[in-house]
A and B are shown apart, each in its own frame.
Chain A
Amino acid sequence: MTARTGLDANLVVPDRLDAALAVGPGEVVAVVGPNGAGKSTLVHALSGLVPATGRAVLDGADLLGRTPRERSVGVVFQDQRLFPHLSALDNVAFGLRSRGADNRAARARARDWLERLAVADLADRRPAQLSGGQAQRVAIARALVTDPDLLLLDEPFTGLDVGVAAMLRIELGRHLAEFRGVTVLVTHDALDALTLATSLAVLHQGRVVQHGAPDEVAARPRTEHVARLVGLNVIREGDRLRSFSPAAVTVGLQAPADSTRNRWQGVVRGAAPHGDAIRIQVSGDRDLIADVTPAASRELALVPGQQVWLSVKETAVTTYDATS
């Protein structure tokens, strides 16, 4: 066993990815970004399924010269990809048997992991007989049972019921805390990023544009996508970014009397409950969100198509550098 030093990568896939990422052993980096930002490409490049150039060093060993099977990765695919012709148990035992374990030992260890994921009673079922949440548990067991150095989770909660996802998120958090390798978790859910991850990397057009502690990234998002993800407005002014909470936004039908520069005209595009408030989306020169009370929402008739003015006090705005 080599010493665990973590992952240091700068992966290039022409036209799709040029991403630099450094993650320490035992850390969990959540990768967020809009569709097409290259999240899945990053996972596949790390696993070796998509050829990439550049650099990828895991625990001191160069990954790029290796085939997927030589990389010691565990992958939980977005679509799970449990082998449909094998039972849950044999799916989990597959990786152990491929790496030379005898059948009995592999099955015993696989059963142990199914137990840890609370699906041991489903060991003999085929994937088609499992619910989405159960199948995802089997997939996680299959990825972890070989004790990989690098765990790749590609949107592990997508397509699950909210309650099932919430339960599984808590359990996954427990397993990740025990896991000593590097975890890369692709997600589009701020909750995953903030609860499971030790760091948050923002992928935009194939590049990592921000990487830091989840709280830090959430407080000072550098892209519109992350701002939306964590529920903030963010506005770029030259090299500076200005962010403010939707709760700090004042909504009115007339232009604000004071000549604050923080005012924008727009059209209501949508409205949805958000906690005790109504969160409205407004598009104009800027796409912004604002929280209003239900009473104010009725009073101002904030239905889609309504023209509104948004303003925010300068004291409610955080200003920071766009460049890292």
Chain B
Amino acid sequence: MSTTSTDTLGRPPLVLMLPAAAAVLLLVLPLAAMVVATDPASLVDALGSEPLQEALWLSLVTSTVAMLFCLVLGLPLAWLLARVDFRGRRLVRALVTVPMVLPPVVAGVALRAAFGRSGLFGEPLLDATGFAFPYTTWGVVLAHVFVSLPFVTIAIEGGLRTAGTAYDDAAATLGATRWTTFRRVTVPLALPGIAAGMVLGWARSLGEFGATITFNGNYPGTTQTMPTLIYVARQSDADAALALSLVMLVVSVAVLVALRDKWLVAAP
């Protein structure tokens, strides 16, 4: 359909085509260069190395757990922002979006201030339970959720707004409570937006570096994710860093494609 209208409307203007082509090159060339530059031998070494396997596994697990937390917390928040007209809604939305523009390292510092061992909430938590977030895998998840939740919330809110309130209204006249409406009407109809938000959140978590390393350090097996491993490797062995980066590229693309087939395309 889109090709038909492009054809009938005439040639796409160069003034748009050239920047579009430049954008594609800008995004593809560095990745292609990375593939070209990677030494196959070091790739084999990297794949067999224990730090990579640990870091890759940790990255996948923490990103997935963080995505689930983002769903559990972000979906209700997105619904509130999209469907309930309350005083201060604009303020809440503004506050929610602040972490999106924050440098992740600042997010790490803020998390320390709040949940560090001597932080505002971290200290009472430590006193009461003996548990502290920093330098633990849960700390990694917390950092991931903190940086991803705004993206997930805003994406899902967009999906809910696109779905509109007409069917919510119809459900209300049919005697459905807001909770029933949410479960049986709102969520099913906003599923594409929700799935897109989750994929976005997962991808954001997978690439998260600054907040994670600031809040949790870099301990193999507990807090060392792929980005932090690559960062450390880069300082001593550029070839190894390239190989690790290539693995991460392949895994990310594979997971995104899998999620796409399962969620984004299958959804109505």
- Within the complex, the shortest CB–CB distance from A164 to chain B, in Å, comes to 22
B177 and A85 contacting across the interface, CB-CB below 8 Å: no
A98 and B189 contacting across the interface, CB-CB below 8 Å: no
A68 and B169 contacting across the interface, CB-CB below 8 Å: yes
Known: A84-B189, A85-B189. A98 touches B170 (CB 8 A): no
Q: Which of A49, A73, A83, A98 contacts B167 (CB 8 A)?
A: A83
Interface residues of A in 140-168 (CB under 8 A from B): 142, 146
- Within the complex, the shortest CB–CB distance from A249 to chain B, in Å, comes to 45
Q: Which of A47, A79, A83, A85 contacts B173 (CB 8 A)?
A: A47
Interface centre among B174, B175, B177, B268 (most CB of A within 10 A): B174
Does B171 sit within 8 A of A, measured CB to CB?
yes
Known: A94-B184, A98-B180. A81 touches B167 (CB 8 A): yes
Q: Which residues of B contact A181 (CB under 8 A)?
A: none
Does B103 sit within 8 A of A, measured CB to CB?
no
0/1 interface trace, chain A 255-294, chain B, CB 8 Å (1 if under): 0000000000000000000000000000000000000000
Known: A83-B185, A84-B189, A84-B268. A99 touches B170 (CB 8 A): no
Q: Which of A48, A67, A84, A94 contacts B174 (CB 8 A)?
A: A94
Q: Which residues of A contact B184 (CB under 8 A)?
A: 94
- Within the complex, the shortest CB–CB distance from A139 to chain B, in Å, comes to 9
Counted as pairs of residues, one from A and one from B, with CB atoms less than 8 Å apart, the total is 56
A98 and B175 contacting across the interface, CB-CB below 8 Å: yes
Q: Which residues of A contact B169 (CB under 8 A)?
A: 49, 68, 81
Docked pose: A101 CA to B175 CA in angstroms: 12
Q: Which of B171, B172, B174, B180 contacts A146 (CB 8 A)?
A: B174
Q: Which residues of A contact B176 (CB under 8 A)?
A: 69, 94-95, 98
Q: Which residues of B contact A68 (CB under 8 A)?
A: 169, 172-173
Known: A83-B185, A94-B184, A98-B177. A69 touches B172 (CB 8 A): yes
Does B166 sit within 8 A of A, measured CB to CB?
yes
Does B188 sit within 8 A of A, measured CB to CB?
yes
Q: Which residues of A contact B175 (CB under 8 A)?
A: 69, 95, 98-99, 146
10 nearest interchain CB pairs? A95-B174, A98-B176, A68-B172, A81-B170, A98-B175, A99-B175, A75-B173, A85-B188, A69-B175, A68-B173
Residue numbers of A with Cβ under 8 A of B are 47-49, 67-69, 71, 73-75, 77, 79, 81, 83-85, 94-95, 98-99, 142, 146
Residue numbers of B with Cβ under 8 A of A are 166-167, 169-177, 180, 184-185, 188-189, 268
